[in-house]
Structure 1
Amino acid sequence: MTRPRARDLGLPFPGTPGPLNAITDVPGVAVGFCTLTDPAKKMRTGVTAILPRPGTEPQPVWAGHYALNGNGEMTGTHWINDAGYFLGPILITNTHGVGAAHTGATRWVVGHYADYFANHHAWAMPVVAETYDGVLNDINALFVQPEHAIAALEARSFGPVAEGSTGGGNGMITYEFKGGTGTSSRRITLGGQDYTVAALVQANHGIRPWLTILGKPVGELIPDGAFYGTEMGSIIVILATDAPLSGLALRQLAKRAALGIGRGGTPGGNNSGDIFLAFSTGNPGPMPQFAPPLTARQELNIELLDDLYLAAVQSVEEAVVNAMVAGEDVPTVKPEGRTCRALDHTRLREIFAG
């Protein structure tokens, strides 16, 4: 059964999405999942993989990073802040799965770029991010293993992206509704060229009274089933674009994810890790150590990027709602005996029909 997305319910999100309304609308970007579910073991977790560049030739992925609230983890960002790029995939999992996912990603990268690692003094520094799924999953059982990260990478696809309880989003809660993985994209034109900017989120943040969707106080209008009372989660946002951008512009783009999640009502709670990464598939080329002394890269004039920033904000806003719309009722494991409810589609339709 294919579940509807937010636009299918009549929510009038602004902007023009790409054909899939997903991060895979950015040419070359692939997404894969390994989803682990076993109610008998109190297991509901997994790994999400994003691969920015196809092929087995190592190429830098130009990137920028921003943390609105640091109560969380995203590995590799110190190097991104210094060098402006990373190599290989991005993985998102649960808080206690970061080490296992990092090991799996390293094994995969070493194999995927086999010649590079065999014949050069190459090193892997994967980007691995997390949010806490300990309400719906026995996080202390350490279910996520390196092979699950590899499985997510091997399952990568350039097509539609499954949302909700998929991959690392499997055990996540958003505004006290079942949340998880969500994605959206926007098409824009700058300088006579068409570009795509898109978001993938692992949404695990917010409390019910905060929730606002396109200006409607949805959390107040659908209060049923709320059980947190205080912020207990986080959100990871990955922004992708094919627009050629400088490292400075990519950092500025990553910052706009904060405005995107803010449209949903969160103030960035103290217990939330709100961590964002923006990357560009523009300017393909060799790893810097193999490049000539003088290099040239194209980049859009930062004075002309307002439409790109707006597209990022819109993509993040819609991706979070898509994560909730894809949710289903799930029993809690800590505390036991409760249910994390899905966002009621009928009531959401009624709110926007009125």
Structure 2
Amino acid sequence: MATDTSAEKRKRARDFGIPFDGTPGPLNAITDVGGVHVGFSTVREETPRPGRKLPVRTGVTAILPHATADEPVPVFAGIHRFNGNGEMTGSHWIKDGGYFVGPVLITNTHSVGITHHGAVRWMIDRYAATYEGDDHLWLMPVVAETYDGLLNDINGQHVTVDHVFEALNGARAGPVAEGNVGGGTGMIAYGFKGGTGTASRRIAISGQESTVAAVVQANHGRRDWLTIGGVPVGKLLKEGDLGLSERGSIIVVIATDLPLAPHQLQKLARRAAIGIGRNGTIGGNNSGDIFLAFSTANPHPMRHKADAVLTIAMVNDEILDPVYEAAVQSVEEAVVNAMIAAETTGGTPHDRHRIEAIDGSKVADLLRRHPGETTRSTSG
């Protein structure tokens, strides 16, 4: 088995001059939000394992909100189900309690169970003083999925606890790998190779610089829906289109260092629908479009150790529009980054399909040839 966890530098949308609105953070990644680390376990194999018919191309993506904390930190959060043909564990408590504790992981549809199992084991080991004591605490990490069965032997259930540990223990600050990495390894977006993507935006609220950022696992859309910078790119790049129906999904995780209350984070999560909509998806019936937003502000102890009355700071709802805008922009760019960074996959005698990666140079050329469609900035 070949397991690849490298963060090889691949070109991103802006490297080709593809324009986007807003001002990105230094890394243009979710790790621009302080304390957030991202890790991957990536499995890429070109021949089937014994007794199997398809190659293995899958993995796990891990997002840690307070990665360096010695104790688990409750994180205020909100969730939105734009189209519910998918899974995100812990979602009921996020809706009712307004927070989650632990990492967020993204994998393939048939590996949610083992990924959740591994995350629980990792949390017990990582925070032994909290979970091995006499408090009898439960754990409910967040695990989401999209379906990679066209390029991966998904029914072989090849993700293991070791892969979960690899992603979690390898989580780091700094640049985030994109494309065929982690849970995004076998994903398809708009008929092109999809996968993992990220982007961020810097905004000023009451004179204070803050960050809003996103990670996506893009596995959604049909070729003729794809729009970039207002240009119908999918209709103009029809060559090689397999005509695949909309049977995928997209998971969006939005992070911010702004102090937002749970009801505000729920509203922020909803804006991911506008972000993915900018690239053309209609949210097809078979697509699981599930969005999570969390804030690293307002850290509190675990609730059983916290004071009877909790005090939180929160941004005035009246000035949230720039925050919503930053989220929409981050999600839109993260999807394009996932596609631009992806690598053509499949086409071996063992594969169902060969899925081509989109050509960033061709996209940039199309946008230049349609100047009336897009007036966006390429700064940053």
What TM-score range do you get, normalising by the shorter chain?
over 0.9
Q: For 2:33, give the aligned amino acid.
A: V
Corresponding position of 1:15: 22
Counterparts of residues 80-159 of structure 1 (less than 5 Å): 80-119=94-133, 120-159=135-174
User: 1: distance between equivalents of 2:343 and 2:104?
Assistant: 26
**SS of equivalent to 1:239:** strand
Give TM-score, length-normalised by structure 2. 0.91
User: 2: distance between equivalents of 1:17 and 1:200?
Assistant: 14
Runs (5+) with no aligned partner, structure 2: 1-7, 49-54, 370-380
1:231-261 CA deviation, whole Å, 9 max, x = no partner? 0100000000000001100000000000000
User: 1: distance between equivalents of 2:139 and 2:246?
Assistant: 34
1:50-100 CA deviation, whole Å, 9 max, x = no partner? 000022212101100001000000000101111111111000000000001
Question: Are 1:49 and 2:62 counterparts?
Answer: yes
Corresponding position of 1:167: 182
User: 1: distance between equivalents of 2:320 and 2:348?
Assistant: 45
Runs (5+) with no aligned partner, structure 1: none
Question: Are 1:298 and 2:298 counterparts?
Answer: no
Alignment check: 8 A CA contact 1:92 1:168 kept? yes
User: In the superposition, relative to structure 1, how do residues 341 and 80 fare at CA in structure 2: closer, same or farther (>3 Å)?
Assistant: same
Question: Are 1:289 and 2:275 counterparts?
Answer: no
Alignment check: 8 A CA contact 1:136 1:333 kept? no
User: 1: distance between equivalents of 2:146 and 2:348?
Assistant: 17
Judge which range, 308-317 or 216-225, deviates more. Answer: 216-225
Corresponding position of 1:217: 232
1:127-168 CA deviation, whole Å, 9 max, x = no partner? 000000000001000001122111100010101000000000
Question: Are 1:3 and 2:10 counterparts?
Answer: yes
Q: CA deviation at 1:337?
A: 5.3
Q: For 1:40, give the aligned amino acid.
A: T
Q: For 1:59, give the aligned amino acid.
A: V
Residue of structure 1 aligned with 2:241, choices 186, 205, 226: 226
Counterparts of residues 246-285 of structure 1 (less than 5 Å): 246-285=261-300
Corresponding position of 2:40: 33
Q: For 2:130, give the aligned amino acid.
A: Y
Corresponding position of 2:78: 64
Judge which range, 307-316 or 48-57, deviates more. Answer: 48-57
**SS of equivalent to 1:40:** coil
**SS of equivalent to 1:182:** strand
1:92-140 CA deviation, whole Å, 9 max, x = no partner? 0000000010000000011111111111221110100000000000100
Alignment check: 8 A CA contact 1:106 1:125 kept? yes
Q: CA deviation at 1:9?
A: 0.7
User: 2: distance between equivalents of 1:228 and 1:205?
Assistant: 13
Judge which range, 67-76 or 116-125, deviates more. Answer: 116-125
Alignment check: 8 A CA contact 1:134 1:334 kept? no
Alignment check: 8 A CA contact 2:250 2:287 kept? yes
Q: CA deviation at 1:346?
A: 2.5
Judge which range, 305-314 or 6-15, deviates more. Answer: 6-15
- Structure 1: 4+ residue segments shifted above 2 A: 332-338
User: 2: distance between equivalents of 1:333 and 1:80?
Assistant: 42
Q: CA deviation at 1:11?
A: 1.1
Identity, in percent, stands at 58
Alignment check: 8 A CA contact 1:135 1:334 kept? no
Alignment check: 8 A CA contact 1:136 1:332 kept? no
Residue of structure 2 aligned with 1:77, choices 76, 91, 99: 91
Q: For 1:88, give the aligned amino acid.
A: G
User: In the superposition, relative to structure 1, how do residues 128 and 332 fare at CA in structure 2: closer, same or farther (>3 Å)?
Assistant: farther
Q: CA deviation at 1:345?
A: 2.2
Corresponding position of 2:372: none
Alignment check: 8 A CA contact 2:9 2:177 kept? no
Give TM-score, length-normalised by structure 1. 0.98
Alignment check: 8 A CA contact 1:67 1:274 kept? yes
Q: CA deviation at 1:333?
A: 7.9
In the alignment of these two chains, the number of paired residues is: 354
Q: For 2:12, give the aligned amino acid.
A: R
**SS of equivalent to 2:72:** coil
Q: CA deviation at 1:338?
A: 3.2
User: 2: distance between equivalents of 1:237 and 1:246?
Assistant: 19
Q: CA deviation at 1:349?
A: 2.1
User: 2: distance between equivalents of 1:88 and 1:213?
Assistant: 35
**SS of equivalent to 1:189:** strand
Q: For 2:11, give the aligned amino acid.
A: P
